[in-house]
A and B are shown apart, each in its own frame.
Chain A
Amino acid sequence: MAAPLSYLGVGLDRPRVGVFEFTSCEGCQLQLVNNEATLLDFLNLIELVNFREAMSERSDDYDIALVEGSISRADEVARLKEIRTNARLLVALGSCACFGGVNQLKNRFGDLDWVKKKVYGDFPIASQEVRPLADFVAVDLMIYGCPPKKEEIEKVVTNLVVGKKVAMPKYPVCMECKANENICLFTLGEPCLGPITRAGCDAWCPNHRRGCWGCRGPAEAANVRELEAIMARHGFSREAMLDRLECFGGFSSQVAALRGQPRRPRKARSSKRS
Chain B
Amino acid sequence: MKRSRTIQLNHLPRVEGHGNIHIRVQQGKVVEARWEVVETPRFFEAMLIGKLWENAPYLCGRICGICSIGHTLASIRAVENAFGIVPSEQTTTLRLLLKHMETLQSHILHLYFLAAPDFLGVGSLLALTQSHPTEVQRALRLKLLANDACDLIGGRRLHPTRTVVGGFTMLPEKAQLEHLAQRLAAAQEDLAAAADLFGGFTIPHFARETEFVSLKGDHDYPFIGGELISSDGVIKKEDEYQAMTNEYCAEGFTAKLSRLSRDSYAVGALARLNNNFGHLHPAARTVAKRLGLAPVNHNPFMANLAQLVECVHVVHDSLSLIKKLLRRKRQAPRVALKPRKGYGVGAVEVPRGILYHAYEFDQEGRIVKADCVIPTSQNHANIQHDLQALARQWAAQGQADADIELLAQMLVRAYDPCISCSVH
Contacts and interface: CB of A to CB of B under 8 A. Distances in A.
A155 interface: no
B249 A120 contact: yes
B143 interface: yes
Contacts of A257: none
Given A53-B16, A125-B254, A208-B155, A36 B369 contact: no
A25 B117 contact: no
Given A31-B158, A54-B14, 13 more contacts: A27-B62, A34-B147, A36-B140, A36-B141, A55-B14, A55-B125, A56-B14, A72-B40, A120-B41, A120-B256, A121-B249, A127-B40, A209-B170
Interface of A: 1, 22-31, 33-34, 36-37, 39-40, 43, 48, 51-58, 72-73, 76, 101-103, 105-106, 109, 114-116, 118-121, 123, 125, 127, 146-147, 204-205, 207-210, 213, 240, 243-244, 247, 263, 265-266, 268-271, 273-274
Task: State the majority secondary structure of interface residues on B.
Answer: mixed
A37 B49 CA distance: 40
Contact of B65 (A29, A116, A118, A127): A29
B65 A125 contact: no
Interface of B: 11, 13-17, 40-43, 45-47, 49-52, 55, 58-59, 62-66, 68, 109, 113-114, 117, 123-126, 129-130, 136, 140-141, 143-144, 147, 155-159, 161-162, 164, 169-170, 242, 249, 254, 256, 343, 360, 362, 366, 368-369, 420-421
Given A36-B140, A57-B124, A121-B249, A263 B50 contact: yes
Contacts of A114: 46
A118 B170 contact: no
Contact of A52 (B13, B147, B161, B162): B13
17 contacts: A26-B66, A30-B66, A54-B14, A54-B124, A56-B13, A106-B46, A106-B47, A120-B249, A127-B43, A146-B62, A207-B161, A208-B161, A208-B162, A240-B52, A243-B55, A268-B368, A271-B369
Given A28-B65, A43-B126, A209-B170, A22 B40 contact: yes
Contacts of A101: 62
A109 B66 CA distance: 29
Contact of A25 (B13, B62, B155): B62
Shortest 7 CB-CB distances between A and B: which pairs?
A27-B65, A55-B124, A36-B144, A123-B249, A105-B47, A208-B155, A56-B123
